[in-house]
Amino acid sequence: MSSQEFRHIVRILGADSAGTLKVAYSVTSIKGVNLSLSNAILKKAGINPNMRSGFLTDSDITKIEDVVKDPAKYNLPGWLFNRRKDSDTGKDLHMISADLVLKTKNDIDEAKSIRSWRGYRHAYSLKVRGQRTKTTGRAGKSLGVKKKTPQGKGGGK
């Protein structure tokens, strides 16, 4: 492969990644795709995951995009998807990019509206997943105790 074929920036489903990365890591630049799913996608698309993404052809990129858009069509296992047993359809779905962000926001808003414990924690900007709160997660609140200045050391009467 000549240096003319190498692309320094590769665009896959609206996400830019460096051409020097291996294809498996380059596909993970798409929001909603992790390394496990990336390897499964490349296996179904028939692309070597150790190849540098700068050498991908347009047809290879099209294959990857097709598999990412509808992984169920390619018989990928449901446990790889990021939205299993969707509350609306009951099916295993895989969301990417803006759809994932919007669906997550809608889920949080729904939890708030039905006043579930999880929704309550989100509404009051508290930890949601059972983490400690005694010493962490204090951002935005008053921190510590303000020291009083001793008498006669400025600022006082």
Q: Is the pLDDT of residue 3 over 70?
A: no
pLDDT value of residue 78: 87
Query: Residue type for 84, please?
Result: R
Sorted by sequence, the CB contacts under 8 Å of residue 155 that are 6+ apart come out as 149
pLDDT value of residue 144: 64
Could you list the beta-strand ranges (E) of the chain.
9-12, 15-18
**For the segment 40-97, what is each residue's pLDDT rounded down to a tens digit?**
999 999 999 999 999 999 999 999 999 999 898 999 998 999 888 888 888 888 888 8
DSSP string, 62-98: HHHHHHHH-GGGGT--GGG-SB-S-TTT-S-B---HH
**For the segment 25-43, what is each residue's pLDDT rounded down to a tens digit?**
999 999 999 999 999 999 9
Separation of alpha carbons 46 and 1, rounded Å: 19
**Phi and psi (nearest 5°) for 41?**
-60, -45
How do the domains of the chain map onto residue ranges?
Answer: 9-80, 96-131
Query: In this structure, are residues 2 and 55 in contact, taking their beta carbons and an 8 Å threshold?
Result: no
Fold of 9-80: Helicase, Ruva Protein; domain 3 (1.10.8)
**For the segment 120-157, what is each residue's pLDDT rounded down to a tens digit?**
999 988 889 888 888 887 776 665 677 777 776 666 55
